[in-house]
Structures are given as C-alpha cells and as structure tokens.
Amino acid sequence: KQEVAQIPAALSVPEGENLVLNCSFTDSAIYNLQWFRQDPGKGLTSLLLIQSSQREQTSGRLNASLDKSSGRSTLYIAASQPGDSATYLCAVRPVSGGNKLVFGAGTILRVKS
Amino acid sequence: KAGVTQTPRYLIKTRGQQVTLSCSPISGHRSVSWYQQTPGQGLQFLFEYFSETQRNKGNFPGRFSGRQFSNSRSEMNVSTLELGDSALYLCASSLGLAGALNTEAFFGQGTRLTVV
C-alpha cells in the first residue's frame, strides 16, 4: 500500500528565506508526482507535476525534484513571500491506481513579513 | 478557460438524509475523481470516472456512490448521512488516463458538507 509522508508538518520562516519541503513515498511504482498548495477552506492549486522519468521541474520561484528510486521529492521555494503562506501537499499517482492520487498530510507554511 | 466547477459550495444536512454533489470538469477533460478531506484523515480518494465508467474506487462504504454523464460532468451521492461525513469534498479533473503524459489533476473549490 502506497504511503506518503511530508516533513516538516509546519514551518514558520521570515520573508525572503529560501526553504525546502520534503515528501517521501513508500512504493517507487508511480506514474508521476504532483505538488499542490491549499489556502484555508479552498481547493487545491496545482504547482508542479513531475513525471516518473523526470528529475526536476521548475516554475518561477518553485523547483521540485524527484528521486523515484529512493522515494523522495523536495519542493524548493526561493525568496519566500507572505503570499506563499499556505498548506503544501505532495501527491503521487501509483501505477496500480489509475488516476488516483495518494496524498501526504501536508506542510503548513507561514512566511512572516 | 473555465476551471473545475463544484456545486453547491456549502451544504448543511441532517443525519439520515442523503445529498448529491456536482462537479463539472475542465472542458475536454474526461477523467473525474472525487476526494474527501477531513482534519483527521486528510485527503482520501473516493472514486474515479473516465468516459462514464468507474475506473477505481477507494475504501469507503457503499453509502458513497457516483456517476459520470456523457458530457463528463459527475455527481456523487451520499445516502443515510452520518456526522462523520462532514468534510470538504473535492473533485479533480484530468485530460487523460493514467500512464499518459496528460494526467495533471486540477481541483475545484470543493463542497463543504456539514451534517448535524
């Protein structure tokens, strides 16, 4: 059974810092991995999708890496801003699960101004 | 291009009642998945539909059911509501089937269901 863990559970940083969020998964048989952000009471916004054959993806100040063999992904946020404050969720799409996503519990990020 | 639309946004129901939630995927997307989000359990997969066929089902009781129409719109139904069904229900749409490159999931704003 695929399980996804995210560390840390919560993070508070001053504005301008670079930060790293971690995601690990137990089964390397995945199609891809997707990072989302969720604002309180809202839906999920897709940030980055990394296919299983890729090592990293970049979008603006965000960079996500994937090491499928070790079951790890990191989301790097450069020059953090108060508007980055949200919950960040990592999800994998198992090969055995169709389009089903298995989510981690998320990292709650607070960027202080 | 419109995103994923879920209706209603908020719903209050009484124990024992039933409820139907609706999801309209992004135009052209044929895969629709449903998730339940609670503070204790996080995001849990309910089911997935592609071209009107249920492709995958999560570990939820039979009170939870769904369907997909020919225009890809989907509905989920919960019968005999329990207090524990209170949650944010999220719908996601994807263009293609798993294994293809176009499976990025896009989520709606969710329906907040409160059972009293």
pLDDT tens for A5-29 read 999 999 999 999 999 999 999 999 9
Q: Do B109 and A43 touch (CB under 8 A)?
A: yes
| Longest pairwise C-alpha distance within chain B | 43
Q: Do B108 and A43 touch (CB under 8 A)?
A: yes
Question: Cβ of A37 under 8 Å from any chain B Cβ?
Answer: no
3-state secondary structure of B17: coil
- Percent of chain A predicted with pLDDT > 70: 100
Per-residue pLDDT of chain B (116 residues; tens, 9 = 90+): 689 999 999 999 999 999 999 999 999 999 999 999 999 899 999 999 999 999 999 999 999 999 999 999 999 999 999 999 999 999 999 987 766 666 899 999 999 999 99
Q: Do A43 and B90 touch (CB under 8 A)?
A: yes
The two three-digit tokens of residue B6, written as one number: 């879920």
Counts of helices then strands in chain A (DSSP H, E) = 0, 11
Distance (Å, whole) CA A84 – CA A97? 31
Distance (Å, whole) CA B51 – CA B64? 20
